[in-house]
Amino acid sequence: MKRRDFLNLSGGLAAATMLPAKWAFAQSREASLRVLSEGAANSFDSFSPGVNRYSLQITWNAYDRLVKFAYKPQGDGTSNYDYFDIQPELAESFDLSEDQKTITFRLRKDATFHDGSPVTADDVKFSLDRVVASPIGKSQFSTGSMTDPAQFVVVDAHTFRIDLPQPDRFALPNLALTYPIIVNSKLALQHATDADPFGSEWLLTNEAGGGAFKVSRAAMGERVLFERFDDWKSGELPGFTQVLWQTVPAPENRVAALLKGDADIAQDLPPKDVLTLAGNDAIKVVGTPTTAFQFIGMNSQMTPFDDVRVRKAVAYALPYEAMMSTALFGRGKPLFGGEPGAPETALFPQPLGYSTDLDKAKALLAEAGHADGFDVTFSYDLSNATVAEPVALLLQESLAKVGIRVTIDKVPAGQLGTLLQEKKVPFFFEGSIAYLADADYFFRIFYFGDSRWNFGSYQNPEFIELVGKTRYETDPAVYETEVKRMIELVKDEVPIILLWHPSLDLGMAKSVEGYSFAFHRQLDFRPLRRG
Q: Tens of pLDDT along 291-311? A: 899 999 999 999 999 999 999
Does residue 279 lie in a domain region? Answer: no
Does residue 303 lie in a domain region? Answer: yes
Burial class of 49 by CB neighbour count within 10 A (0 to 12, 13 to 18, 19+): exposed
Does residue 308 lie in a domain region? Answer: yes
Rg (CA), the chain: 24
Please state the rounded mean pLDDT for residues 78-100.
Answer: 96
Does the structure show a pLDDT above 70 at 8? Answer: no
**Domain ranges, residue 439:** 292-503
417 and 298 in one domain?
yes
Per-residue pLDDT band at 18 (split at 50, 70, 90): low
Cα gap 294→283, rounded to integer Å:
28
Of the residues 210, 237, 258, which one is the last residue of a structural domain? 210
**What CATH number is attached to the domain comprising 432?**
3.10.105.10
Cα gap 517→434, rounded to integer Å:
15
Q: 508 has which bridge partners? A: 265, 284
354 and 492 in one domain?
yes
Per-residue pLDDT band at 28 (split at 50, 70, 90): low
Please tell me whether the overall predicted TM-score, pTM, comes out greater than 0.85 for this model. Answer: no
Please state the rounded mean pLDDT for residues 1-18.
Answer: 39
Does residue 268 lie in a domain region? Answer: no
331 and 440 in one domain?
yes
Cα gap 58→191, rounded to integer Å:
20
Cα gap 446→454, rounded to integer Å:
4
Does residue 280 lie in a domain region? Answer: no
Please state the rounded mean pLDDT for residues 97-106.
Answer: 97
460 and 328 in one domain?
yes
Of the residues 191, 210, 229, which one is the last residue of a structural domain? 210
**Residue-level length of the chain:** 531
Position 19 scores a pLDDT of: 53
Q: What is the largest CA-CA distance in the chain?
A: 77
Helical (H) or strand (E) element with 515: none
299 and 205 in one domain?
no
300 and 169 in one domain?
no
Does the structure show a pLDDT above 80 at 2? Answer: no
Position 272 scores a pLDDT of: 82
Does the structure show a pLDDT above 70 at 11? Answer: no
172 and 68 in one domain?
yes
Q: Which of 217, 185, 219, 216 is nearest to 203 (CA)?
A: 185
What are the residue ranges of helices labelled H in 358-426?
358-367, 385-400, 416-421
Position 414 scores a pLDDT of: 77
437 and 303 in one domain?
yes
Does the structure show a pLDDT above 80 at 518? Answer: yes
480 and 354 in one domain?
yes
Per the CB < 8 A criterion, the answer to whether 458 and 298 are in contact is no
Does residue 527 lie in a domain region? Answer: no
Split into its structural domains, the chain has a count of: 2
Position 281 scores a pLDDT of: 85
Position 277 scores a pLDDT of: 86
Cα gap 390→328, rounded to integer Å:
9
Selected residue with higher pLDDT from 437 and 32? 32
493 and 351 in one domain?
yes
Position 9 scores a pLDDT of: 36
Position 288 scores a pLDDT of: 84
The SS3 assignment for 16 reads helix
Does the structure show a pLDDT above 80 at 104? Answer: yes
Position 6 scores a pLDDT of: 30
**What CATH number is attached to the domain comprising 113?**
3.90.76.10
Of the residues 177, 210, 243, which one is the last residue of a structural domain? 210
Position 298 scores a pLDDT of: 98
Does residue 76 lie in a domain region? Answer: yes
470 and 330 in one domain?
yes
Phi–psi pair at 48, nearest 5 degrees = 170, 160
What are the residue ranges of helices labelled H in 413-520?
416-421, 439-446, 461-470, 476-493
370 and 470 in one domain?
yes
Condensed to tens digits (0 to 9), the pLDDT of residues 194-219 reads 999 999 999 999 999 999 999 999 99
Per-residue pLDDT band at 22 (split at 50, 70, 90): low
Does residue 160 lie in a domain region? Answer: yes
Please state the rounded mean pLDDT for residues 170-191.
Answer: 97
Condensed to tens digits (0 to 9), the pLDDT of residues 250-290 reads 889 999 999 999 999 999 888 888 888 887 888 999 988 88
Position 3 scores a pLDDT of: 31
Condensed to tens digits (0 to 9), the pLDDT of residues 229-261 reads 999 999 999 999 999 999 998 889 999 999 999
